[in-house]
Amino acid sequence: MLRNHGLLTVGDSVDAAAWWLLSLERSCQAQLTAGAAGRPVLIEHRQAVATREQFGGDLVGWINYQPLWRLISRSEPDPFDGGPVPAVGSGSVPAASCGRFPQPVRDRPRGRVNTAVRMSPALGRGAGAPGAQGALCGTIRCRPMRLGVADAGGAMETPRAGVVAGFTAVRAGCRRGRGRRASGVAVQEARHGSGSGRSAYEEAHGGGCTCGDCPHGAREGHRRAVAAFLSRRDEFAAGQGLPAAVAHSASASRQWVSEELTQSAEVVAERGRAEGEAWLAGLGRRTAATVWAGVVLLLLVQSLTAIGAGWTAARTAGLAAALVVAGALTAASWFHRARGGALAPVIGEDNRLSTSRAVAAAWVLFVAYAVLVLAGQLAVASGPARRDSLVSGLELTRGAGAVTVLAVVCGIAVLVRRVVGLRVLAQRLQKVRADRPRASDLLTDDAGRGTFADIQYVVISAVALVFAAVRLARRPDQLPDLPWGLAVVVLVSAATYVAGKYAEGGRPVILSVVRAREAGDLDAPIRTGDDIEIRGAGFVPPGAQRADRLSRMVVRIGAVNVHVPLVPVTGGFSNPTDDLLTVPVPADVEPGRVDVQVVTSAGVETNRYAIDVTD
């Protein structure tokens, strides 16, 4: 049973494959009806195995299909293009037959084949439109034939329609040479979306492209996908949009809504990743433009301040150093153009800006610029005394504070990366990847909330850098002499930042598991089919509040993995939450004592909690 294509059956003959398709469809109908009526009563495993041994052979399927074959071959001979009706039992080629859950067929054109083949949505729109040529079903390629429209793309309504879907694949004059050409035509028409009514520009720029300033590019596609998802979530939260087949069963409707929201959220996530990649590709150009804008600003400041004091060699050295640094950053932007340009070294493994790396990079660039300024003045110095004075400006006694701060912030950048990596591997810290880095990452945690450790580290480091820049402008003939008092403040801020990284996060934990019940229900033991409430902490990692990430959560009940259903409410989801999960106990769980364990969307496992499941 395929999520996007429906039912899929195989057999050693077309007759058997078609009969298994009809049987599976009817079984699905019976299961949905039983689920809507109440709690289904399962048959014993040994009885199911015995039934399969007696009636599960392809010969039984072939025999059961023959009356239907005779009926359809005499009542609707159109699929044979006016040729003779094939003899019963002539289809012995291995085949596959595709179908979907039953839906009502309206306005079916008489004299056309109502096929049960459903093309993949990835191939485009219009695959089932009237006039489409050919059909592709499993591994069987068929001759061209007219396809009728059966509501949402060719669903079955009656056994007769299912029979047509089963035997037209091979029996309706299928020839391998013509079949390959016909199936190619069908796929090409599906890809081009015949009858979709969309222009070529809309097909190319419907939200999936990543071209520059295109108004229908990746950002627009992501915005549309988010709007569609929010609209669908709020519609389900209001109790609307449910099909009649599942509306009478709370568990079936909840599962259906969860699956629909998960698929819609995956589209949003895909669009978000496309937007992030497009944004990173353009970040290198923007970074280089910002760097050269800073060089122009420095030139203007130097020109304005030189009006009264005059132009000096130090000003020339400062501009030359700025040109060298800007050239280096531009080259780095080109080499890392697909990863954010010059900002690539400060982007962490989770695709967020790293606070420790950003602070360290700022200090490295500043000290490199200060040394280049001294080197430029030394290159144009005229006398030995001037050269000796500039060389002495590089002594440690002149810039001990700045050098100490540089060493500490660089060491902290390496240490924090190591600490975070080890905690993630030990499942003590949950990290999920972001779509793209943002400037706010420097001051917030993965959930977007401002953190004291990050904010104070960035603010104090920025203040110290401004002070050092002013000292360099006043005394360009030596390294900026950062006072030890200010250097100690920076060191204390760095230590606070590291302590915050050690205290961040924590492993998720299950505290209790109880049977879910509504007001007025009596207490009872946990049985298969019941809902259970898992209470604890840390189930939703920071930054994983989106639906596509919430849908990755899995609860292990014994040996069975259960996906946590998404329960929408206006503005969000009531399930799952960070401290409470509600999941059904599937019928596959064996009665007895079993362990319950939660696997979060970050791949972190909780502790095991034992519960008793009864019949």
**Model pLDDT, residue 105:** 33
Q: Which residue has the higher pLDDT, 182 or 319?
A: 319
The enclosing H or E element of 569 equals strand 567-569
Flag whether pLDDT at 600 surpasses 90. yes
Percentage, residues of the chain above pLDDT 70 = 77
Pair 613, 592: CB distance under 8 Å = yes
- Say how far apart CA 228 and CA 517 lie, in whole Å: 33
Q: Which residue has the higher pLDDT, 414 or 394?
A: 414
List the one residue out of 388, 386, 15 whose CA is nearest residue 168: 15
- Say how far apart CA 241 and CA 256 lie, in whole Å: 11
- Say how far apart CA 248 and CA 33 lie, in whole Å: 9
CATH classification number, 509-614, choose in 2.60.40.10, 3.30.70.270, 3.40.50.12160, 3.10.129.10: 2.60.40.10
* Range name among 212-221, 496-505, 535-544, 583-592 with the lowest pLDDT average: 212-221
List the one residue out of 461, 464, 479, 462 whose CA is nearest residue 370: 479
Average pLDDT over all residues of the chain: 76
Whether the pTM exceeds 0.85: the reply is no
**Model pLDDT, residue 122:** 33
Flag whether pLDDT at 134 surpasses 80. no
- Say how far apart CA 55 and CA 164 lie, in whole Å: 23
**Model pLDDT, residue 79:** 57
**Model pLDDT, residue 80:** 52
Flag whether pLDDT at 228 surpasses 80. yes
Q: pLDDT by residue (tens digit) across 571-591?
A: 889 989 999 999 999 888 888
β-strand pairing of 95-99 with 7-11: antiparallel
Using omega within 30 degrees of 0 as the cis cutoff, is the peptide bond preceding 243 cis? no
Mean pLDDT, residues 216-234 taken together: 83
**Model pLDDT, residue 395:** 81
Instruction: Name the most confidently modeled range: 58-62, 156-160, 230-234.
Output: 230-234
**Model pLDDT, residue 309:** 76
Flag whether pLDDT at 121 surpasses 60. no
* Range name among 176-185, 332-341, 529-538 with the lowest pLDDT average: 176-185
Give 418's strand partners. Answer: none
Alpha helices in 104-175 (DSSP H): 159-167
Q: Which amino acid is at 294?
A: G
List the one residue out of 563, 567, 538 whose CA is nearest residue 553: 563
Q: How confident is the model at residue 204 (pLDDT cuts 50, 70, 90)?
A: very low
Flag whether pLDDT at 490 surpasses 80. yes
Mean pLDDT, residues 231-257 taken together: 83
**Model pLDDT, residue 273:** 85
Q: Which residues belong to CATH 2.60.40.10 in the chain?
A: 509-614
Q: Which residue has the higher pLDDT, 175 or 608?
A: 608
